[in-house]
Structure 1
Amino acid sequence: MKRWTKAITGVAAVALATAGCAGSGGSGGGGDDAGQNEDRTLTVWLMNGSAPETLTDALHKEFEQTHDGVTVKYEVQEWNGIQDKLTTALGGQNPPDIIELGNTQAPAFASQEVLTDLSGDVGDLNGDQWLESLKASGEWDGKQYSTPFYAANREVLYRTDMFEQAGITAPPTSRQEWLDAITKLKAKFGSDPQFQALYLPGQNWYTLLSFIYDEGGDIAEKDGTKFTATLTSDEAKAGLEFYKQLVEASGTTAPKDNDEQTPEQAGIFGQGKVAMMIGLPWEVDTATKDAPDLKAKISGFPIPSKNAGETAPVFQGGSNLAIPVNSANADLAKDYLKLMLSSKYQTMLAEAGMVPGASTDLSPLEKNPVSKAMADASQNGRAVPATPTWATIEAGQNPLKDMLTAYLTGAKDLNQATADANAALDAAFSG
């Protein structure tokens, strides 16, 4: 998920502000009559690892067949360095016609007025099927500047063989059942000093969001384009308290001052001494790279709610699609988006293991228990605050991480930890 969190730098913001005055945008293609008697090229930038090649090959072939004289120039971009590359492209007069943005990048670019306003096109772009979390990340000041593309969310990955041996007959469907499962796992395997019922690092703030959402809270509230932190609410505090309860109940040896990437939790899980971890479906492949026999023993279930039989809301990361305001082919670009967001190609995304951004048909994901668990929770997904400053917050000194470490280690009590994080978030929002 880190790949969706590239920070907007001060230099980039200046460049984009200048670019916002560069042209009216959207009309460079000349309207419906433009290019009827000449060849045109539609330049598309998608990110490495996003759309599978089978999808893009079929989509581009269909698009060219239905648009005489049009050639799709498809360029796969790398996440490393994409922030600067997008900033340069969007600040010029000849940007690509379609770009993929991480959902935490989208608000910053939208606020700089370098993306085409798509508010009037939502209905034509399968808008009634959009994932709400990605729709929200593409909005700015009451307008829609990008569309959902695909998403993913965390789940509990677990060892089916360990559950069976511990007498756990079904995956937990409530927080209490989750805690009961941990108790049974520790009773069965706790004599092994290396065993962990749940590997849970202290700074896994994505998981914390689920607990805060489940309590009915959030980390910020919105008023127009302004966000105000709400970490001192009773609901946010209750979510933080459950995180601590889970850490203490599990007996995890994960560091309290680092996240799931330091050390990489999938590698720890793959060593065979951990019964559960909270992660993304593709972490199964990472965990079993050196232990392929383990793969058949791993399944998943949604993060449980405190309400029995319900799943907790989940943070949803993903990508959006947008049209640069200075695109010379805005008319063609909208046709491209319409095709990409159609049920045909959204189904292909689901078949590739992603949560489609513009489809409620998740049946392709139900063929595998791990992807099914992600799909089951996906319709209750949430986004982080859609503010231009969020990417910088997440990539920098994240107040949520500092809060977790301070509270879990006892450096601060609940009230002080939440108050300090709240103040830090408010300062970052205003910055």
Structure 2
Amino acid sequence: MKRLTKLMAGAAAIALATAGCAGSGGGSSSDSGGGDKTLTVWLMNGSAPATLTDALNKEFEAANKGVTVKYEVQEWNGIQDKLTTALASQDPPDVIELGNTQAPSFAADEVLTDLTGDVDSLNGGQWLSSLKDSGEWDGKQYAAPFYAANRVVLYRTDMFQQAGIAAAPTSRAEWLDAITKLKAKFGSDPQFQPLYLPGQNWYSLLSFIYDEGGDIAEKSGTDFKATVNSPEVKSALQFYKQLVDTSGTTAPKDNDEQNPEQAGIYGQGKVAMMIALPWELGTAAKDNPDIEKNSSAFAIPSKTAGKTAPVFQGGSNLAIPVNSKNPELAKSYLKMLLSDKYQSQLAEAGMVPGASTDLSALDAKPVSKAMAAASKDGKAAPATPKWATVEAGQNPLKDMLTAYLTGAKDLDTATNDANSALDAAFKG
């Protein structure tokens, strides 16, 4: 493989430090050989629940005599380097889980199996479009959707009731009105915040951008060009600032939702709303068990009354390393995992299944129900190998938000500078 050589060279130092991490890869025999086989599967910690994987692996082994599934749970911390090393080896695992922003990079390095001809057999008719797009590269499909999640507005039902807010907001105007009513009721407490919104929560900004009809980049072939200085993005930034100013949030304008961890702030009981992933409520409840029973969620409202704003959809894909010793067995494993039977179990666990349109299981809890309502209009980050670097590095979207919210730059300067920085990252 012409690019595999480059990837192997880049992974050499990592391989020395992590010798043996790829040694737990596929069995010694190939699909065409006889004898017993081992199918090695790497899924991430916090992904599929053990009840699902235990049943799946048992069923797969029963259906494929002589095959043993070697199931290994991986940690997200350090997984990029571990995958790079494993995929450059001649003995990688047979099935891997990838973050949806990682998939384009590995696909471009030609270390993933082309699944284009297998989409239909892998339940492709029900694939979540945002994750399908992130698994594509240069017109081919290299990864299949696994599961996704998107942000909702978590809120205190007891505070809403006390403030006279009869129903969850279904438009931006109603959202702003709810903030005003919450301030009027609880504003005498200097620690109270109707909405906790950090200045660099760019995931939330993306919803507002999509709702305005814009995006942060446009695609041409395999290249991307930034569109952050568009009128739509500017309107989204202005609404973001309106939320910050109206709520009077004390969240830092120069940091994101993890610094400090917003779930911990919400858990202190002085915040009425935050834009968050559903499981952040559980994090908040660790310090304040009572907060969970007094919380619910609604989808991020659209500027159009009665609609929800499109959401940024993060999640995971599934892929088969190009050097897998058991590619056909691996495809059979994916076929089973992506079937309605196991995808419905993902929904029961509170995730948006990547290969199912049946989200009814998510209706059991108000928070997951809100996530499901918004998930139907989800979008992913630009499907370019460069995006993982953008997200992990000096993210121009974060810099743009801070500069505009603090007044360090006016709207035009902030968006133009961010646009130039993104274009440079896409080309770099």
Query: Structures share a fold, TM > 0.5?
Result: yes
Residue 160 (1) aligns with residue 157 (2): yes
CA contact (8 A) 1:16 1:112 kept: no
What CA distance in whole angstroms lies between the structure 2 residues aligned with 1:293 and 1:327? 49
Q: Deviations over 1:343-402 (max 9, x none)?
A: 000011111111111111111110000110011101111000000011110110000000
Gaps of 5+ in 2: 1-5, 13-27
Displacement after TM superposition at 1:120 (Å): 0.5
Displacement after TM superposition at 1:13 (Å): 8.0
- State the partner residue of 1:82: 79
Q: 1:323 to 1:16 in 2, by over 3 A?
A: farther
- State the partner residue of 1:199: 196
Displacement after TM superposition at 1:49 (Å): 1.0
What CA distance in whole angstroms lies between the structure 2 residues aligned with 1:173 and 1:54? 37
SS in 2 for 1:192: coil
- State the partner residue of 2:64: 67
SS in 1 for 2:356: coil
- State the partner residue of 1:40: 37
Q: Which residue of 238, 243, 252 corresponds with 2:235? A: 238
TM-score (norm 1): 0.93
What CA distance in whole angstroms lies between the structure 2 residues aligned with 1:364 and 1:332? 30
Residue 281 (1) aligns with residue 278 (2): yes
Gaps of 5+ in 1: 1-10, 18-27
Q: Which aligned pairs between 1:280-429 and structure 2 lie closer than 5 A?
A: 280-429=277-426
Q: Deviations over 1:60-115 (max 9, x none)?
A: 00000011111111111111111111111110111100000000000000000000
Q: Deviations over 1:204-227 (max 9, x none)?
A: 000000000000000000001000
CA contact (8 A) 1:12 1:84 kept: no
Q: Deviations over 1:207-251 (max 9, x none)?
A: 000000000000000001000000111111111111011111111
CA contact (8 A) 1:355 1:362 kept: yes
What CA distance in whole angstroms lies between the structure 2 residues aligned with 1:40 and 1:267? 47
What CA distance in whole angstroms lies between the structure 2 residues aligned with 1:252 and 1:220? 30
Residue 149 of structure 2 aligns with an amino acid whose one-letter code is A
Q: Which residue of 141, 144, 147 corresponds with 1:147? A: 144
What CA distance in whole angstroms lies between the structure 2 residues aligned with 1:324 and 1:239? 40
CA contact (8 A) 1:150 1:319 kept: yes
What CA distance in whole angstroms lies between the structure 2 residues aligned with 1:161 and 1:107? 44
CA contact (8 A) 2:278 2:371 kept: yes
CA contact (8 A) 1:29 1:331 kept: no
Residue 171 (1) aligns with residue 168 (2): yes
**Moved segments of 4+, more than 6 Å:** none
Q: Deviations over 1:305-350 (max 9, x none)?
A: 0011100000011110000001110000000000000000001111
Displacement after TM superposition at 1:288 (Å): 1.3
Residue 356 of structure 1 aligns with an amino acid whose one-letter code is P
CA contact (8 A) 2:103 2:134 kept: yes
Q: Which residue of 37, 42, 52 corresponds with 2:49? A: 52
Residue 296 of structure 1 aligns with an amino acid whose one-letter code is K
Residue 49 of structure 2 aligns with an amino acid whose one-letter code is P
Q: 1:60 to 1:334 in 2, by over 3 A?
A: same
Displacement after TM superposition at 1:15 (Å): 3.6
Displacement after TM superposition at 1:43 (Å): 0.6
What CA distance in whole angstroms lies between the structure 2 residues aligned with 1:371 and 1:245? 27
What CA distance in whole angstroms lies between the structure 2 residues aligned with 1:169 and 1:266? 25
SS in 2 for 1:348: helix
Residue 165 of structure 1 aligns with an amino acid whose one-letter code is Q
CA contact (8 A) 1:231 1:421 kept: yes
Identity %: 77
What CA distance in whole angstroms lies between the structure 1 residues aligned with 2:8 and 2:386? 11
SS in 1 for 2:199: coil
- State the partner residue of 1:266: 263
Equivalent pairs counted in the alignment come to 409
Q: 1:414 to 1:136 in 2, by over 3 A?
A: same
Q: Deviations over 1:108-155 (max 9, x none)?
A: 000000000000100000001111110011000000000000110000
CA contact (8 A) 1:114 1:324 kept: yes
What CA distance in whole angstroms lies between the structure 1 residues aligned with 2:304 and 2:112? 41
CA RMSD, aligned part only? 1.5
Residue 63 of structure 2 aligns with an amino acid whose one-letter code is T
CA contact (8 A) 2:301 2:309 kept: yes
TM-score (norm 2): 0.94
Residue 102 (1) aligns with residue 99 (2): yes
